[in-house]
């Protein structure tokens, strides 16, 4: 049974992203009728890993299917460190630990100056078996107060993005590069990222998602070692320790530049395509 409120919210977000919808799709009862569904373009098979070369991606207007939660594949052991910021010993993943173990260490962490000004650490939220981990940069004021990532204005927008893509926060995982709020919502400093990023790496190592969705420059720098503009790395699928990484904009960017939601939607379609086709047969 289609929840009409949820469907209208999804359709509204698609319209904001520039997706062309059949006229009758504003009527939730008709949007999913066999007649309309038969006119909707199917989700295209993935031809390559370039968004720009995949214009059909953007023509999709059918609500994506819920992504089934499947056991994550066993990844090969990491033999060489990812060439990014240096990782302190405390940040090295240890065998047998759980997310709860890491969370306890984060809660007591004083490795950088952000410990002084935080109200509380913001570890991460979602499923330990998540097929995808969404990575942001750091907590803001709302997150620092509530102890949960992405609960402020950018978080509400992220919720709409997730809903439009068929996800919910319980079946995915959301985490940040730094676990304490930088004062004034400034970007984390390189030394703060260096001190904290290992916690994220350990979260990812424990979860072993099939895909990582890196939102914004800080997350991209941390995971890929790329310090340029997001636009320079978007449009290709990268890797972090054999896990596909989709670089995208931070939801806060869409609050300032709503027209760029279209780009974010394209990235979400690539994510869905990757999850549905299986991350192991990527190019």
Contact window for ligand SF4 (CB under 6 A) among 33-41, 56-64, 110-118, 235-243: 110-118
Can residue 102 be called a binding residue for ligand SF4 (CB under 6 A)? no
Number of amino acids touching ligand SF4 (CB under 6 A): 14
Can residue 112 be called a binding residue for ligand SF4 (CB under 6 A)? yes
Can residue 246 be called a binding residue for ligand SF4 (CB under 6 A)? no
**Shortest CB 16 distance to ligand SF4, Å:** 33
Can residue 180 be called a binding residue for ligand SF4 (CB under 6 A)? yes
**Shortest CB 188 distance to ligand SF4, Å:** 7
Can residue 218 be called a binding residue for ligand SF4 (CB under 6 A)? no
Can residue 179 be called a binding residue for ligand SF4 (CB under 6 A)? yes
Q: Which residues of 169-194 are buried (b: 16+ CB within 10 A; e: fewer)?
A: bebbbbbbbbbbbbeeeebbeeebbb
Token reading at 161? 């993005």
Question: Binding ligand SF4 by CB under 6 A: which of 109, 135, 245, 274?
Answer: 109
Token reading at 157? 């927008």
The H or E element spanning position 78 is none
Can residue 195 be called a binding residue for ligand SF4 (CB under 6 A)? yes
The H or E element spanning position 214 is strand 211-215
Say if strands 243-248 and 211-215 run parallel, antiparallel, or are unpaired: parallel
**Shortest CB 262 distance to ligand SF4, Å:** 33
Candidates 21, 23, 26; CA nearest to 41 is 21
Can residue 110 be called a binding residue for ligand SF4 (CB under 6 A)? yes
Can residue 210 be called a binding residue for ligand SF4 (CB under 6 A)? no
Q: Residue 150 in contact with residue 143, Cβ under 8 Å?
A: yes
- Closer residue to ligand SF4, CB minimum distance, 188 or 235: 188
Sheet with 125-126: strands ordered across: 125-126, 173-176, 132-136, 211-215, 243-248, 238-240
Q: Residue 151 in contact with residue 190, Cβ under 8 Å?
A: no
Question: Binding ligand SF4 by CB under 6 A: which of 121, 176, 205, 208?
Answer: 121
**Shortest CB 227 distance to ligand SF4, Å:** 20
**Shortest CB 248 distance to ligand SF4, Å:** 23
Residue 10 CA, chain-centre distance (Å), reads: 18
Question: Binding ligand SF4 by CB under 6 A: which of 57, 157, 162, 196?
Answer: 196
Q: Residue 274 in contact with residue 211, Cβ under 8 Å?
A: yes
**Shortest CB 120 distance to ligand SF4, Å:** 10
Token reading at 51? 């968004």
Q: For the chain, how far is it from start to end, CA to CA, in angstroms?
A: 37
- Closer residue to ligand SF4, CB minimum distance, 10 or 121: 121
- Contact positions toward ligand SF4, by CB under 6 A? 106, 109-112, 114-115, 121, 178-180, 192, 195-196
């Amino acid at each position: 049974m289609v929840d009409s409120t949820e469907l209208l919210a999804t359709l509204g977000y698609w319209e904001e992203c520039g997706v062309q919808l059949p006229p009758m799709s504003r009527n939730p009862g008709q949007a999913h009728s066999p007649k309309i569904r038969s006119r909707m373009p199917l989700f295209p098979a993935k031809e390559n890993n370039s968004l720009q070369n995949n214009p059909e991606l953007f023509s999709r207007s059918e609500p994506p299917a819920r992504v089934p939660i499947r056991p994550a594949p066993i990844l090969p052991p990491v033999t060489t460190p990812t060439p990014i910021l240096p990782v302190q010993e405390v940040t090295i993943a240890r065998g047998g630990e759980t997310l709860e173990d890491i969370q306890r260490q984060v809660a007591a962490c004083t490795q950088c100056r952000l410990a002084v000004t935080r109200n509380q650490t913001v570890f991460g939220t979602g499923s330990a078996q998540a097929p995808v981990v969404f990575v942001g940069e750091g907590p803001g004021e709302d997150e620092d107060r509530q102890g949960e990532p992405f609960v402020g204005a950018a978080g509400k927008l992220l919720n709409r993005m997730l809903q439009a893509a068929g996800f919910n926060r319980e079946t995915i995982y959301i985490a940040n590069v730094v676990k304490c709020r930088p004062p004034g919502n400034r970007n984390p400093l390189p030394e703060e990222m260096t001190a904290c990023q290992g916690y994220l790496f350990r979260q990812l190592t424990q979860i072993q998602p099939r895909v990582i969705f890196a939102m914004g420059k800080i997350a991209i720098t941390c995971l890929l070692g790329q310090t340029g503009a997001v636009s320079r790395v978007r449009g290709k699928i990268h890797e972090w320790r054999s896990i596909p990484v989709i670089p995208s904009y931070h939801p806060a960017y869409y609050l300032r530049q709503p027209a760029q939601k279209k780009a974010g939607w394209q990235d979400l379609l690539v994510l869905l395509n990757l999850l549905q086709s299986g991350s192991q047969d990527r190019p």
